[in-house]
């Protein structure tokens, strides 16, 4: 991904392409790439700044990026920016500005030509699943069990969930059940699971939580309906 800009000073040309908006979340990064060429065949240096004053949460920071020579005598420079810790203070999105200084040095005279390029990238907040939109169904065989139902100890209880991420992400489902016997907490994954109540005795209750996680780490925790054992 790159930002949109073409700029030049004294023949030094800097060019990049269009950068789309990016959603903030775990493991999310932006690859900034800029191309520069000096018609006088001077050496090229790059200096990137991601300043807090330009709306970056994790700033200020600077880097020279990674430079590779291109076949036409120009240079490409790239910086991979981690945005997983970015924070939106107001609203659901923010514009953050990246600045790259490009310096061309004449290899004979040492004279330098300089251009500074600025461009904005839109960072979008991650919309997590609304707990009200997480539908959990418990069944014993084909019978749906409402919250507070009593079932015989040793029953095989089917738990299923329906939920949709506002951003259209694939969701992970993690079920956790505290138990009156080892293991103290049982963890199971999937949209549909079966919980075995063997080992429970009359008067015990089955309870637990469901954690719904989207692809960029957004989570919601929902309390499961309670069952009592007879």
Q: What is the pTM of this model?
A: 0.78
C-alpha span between 17 and 15 (Å, rounded): 7
> Residue 31: what pLDDT?
87
Which phi and psi (to 5°) does residue 170 adopt?
Answer: -70, 140
The tokens describing 57, both together, are 């949460």
Which phi and psi (to 5°) does residue 61 adopt?
Answer: -145, 150
> Residue 159: what pLDDT?
98
Query: Please, what is the end-to-end C-alpha distance for the chain in angstroms?
Result: 60
**Digits of tens for pLDDT over the chain (230 positions)?**
333 333 333 345 555 555 678 999 999 998 888 888 888 888 899 999 999 999 999 768 899 999 999 898 889 999 999 999 999 999 999 999 999 999 988 888 888 888 888 888 999 999 999 999 999 999 999 999 999 999 999 999 999 999 999 999 999 999 999 999 999 999 999 999 999 999 999 999 999 999 999 999 999 999 999 999 99
**3-class secondary structure, 174:** strand
C-alpha span between 100 and 117 (Å, rounded): 5
> Residue 14: what pLDDT?
54
- In CATH terms, the fold of domain 6-124 is Immunoglobulin-like (2.60.40)
Q: What CATH class does 131-229 carry?
A: mainly beta
Domain with CATH 2.60.40.10 in the chain: 6-124, 131-229
C-alpha span between 174 and 226 (Å, rounded): 17
The tokens describing 122, both together, are 């839109």
> Residue 119: what pLDDT?
81
C-alpha span between 156 and 141 (Å, rounded): 8
């Amino acid at each position: 991904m790159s930002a949109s800009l073409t700029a030049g000073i004294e023949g030094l040309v800097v060019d990049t392409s269009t950068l789309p908006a990016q959603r903030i979340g775990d493991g999310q990064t932006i690859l900034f790439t800029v191309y520069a060429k000096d018609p006088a065949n001077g050496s090229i240096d790059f200096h990137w700044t991601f300043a807090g004053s330009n709306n970056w949460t994790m700033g200020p920071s600077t880097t020279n990026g990674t430079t590779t020579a291109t076949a036409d005598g120009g240079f490409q420079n790239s910086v991979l920016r981690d945005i997983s810790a970015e924070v939106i203070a107001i609203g659901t999105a923010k514009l953050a500005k990246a600045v790259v200084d490009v310096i061309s040095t004449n290899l004979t005279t040492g004279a330098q030509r300089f251009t500074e390029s600025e461009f904005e990238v839109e960072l979008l907040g991650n919309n997590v699943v609304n707990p009200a939109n997480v539908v959990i169904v418990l069944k014993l065989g084909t019978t749906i069990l409402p919250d507070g139902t009593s079932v015989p100890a040793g029953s095989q209880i089917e738990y299923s969930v329906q939920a949709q991420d506002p951003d259209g992400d694939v969701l992970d489902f993690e079920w956790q059940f505290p138990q009156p016997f080892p293991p103290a907490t049982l963890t199971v994954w999937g949209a549909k699971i079966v919980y075995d109540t063997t080992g429970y005795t009359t008067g015990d209750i089955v309870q637990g939580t469901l954690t719904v996680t989207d692809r960029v780490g957004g989570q919601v925790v929902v309390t499961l309906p309670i069952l009592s054992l007879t």
